[in-house]
Amino acid sequence: MPYVTAAKENSGKIDIYYEDYGTGDPVVLIHGYPLSGTSWERQIGVLLDAGHRVITYDRRGFGKSSQPFVGYNYDTFAADLHQVVTKLALRNLKLVGFSMGGGEVARYIGKYGTENVRKAVFISAVPPFLMKTPENPEGVDGAVFDGIKKAVAADRYAFFTGFFKDFYNADLFLGTRISEQAIQASWNIAAGSSSIATLACVSTWYEDFREDLKRIDVPTLVIHGDADRILPMSATGARTAKLIPNSRLAVIKDGPHCITWTHAEEVNAELLSFLK
Catalytic sites, residue numbers: 99, 228, 257
Q: What is the number of other CB atoms lying within 10 angstroms of the CB of residue 167?
A: 27
- Which letter does DSSP use for residue 255 in this model? -
Cα separation values, 132 from 141, 223, 257, Å: 5, 23, 20
Helix axes 264-275, 41-49, angle to 10 degrees: 40
Q: Distance between CA 273 and CA 51 in Å, rounded?
A: 13
Widest CA span in the chain = 50
Give one DSSP letter per residue of 67-128, joined into a string. --SS--SHHHHHHHHHHHHHHTT--SEEEEEETHHHHHHHHHHHHH-STTEEEEEEES---S
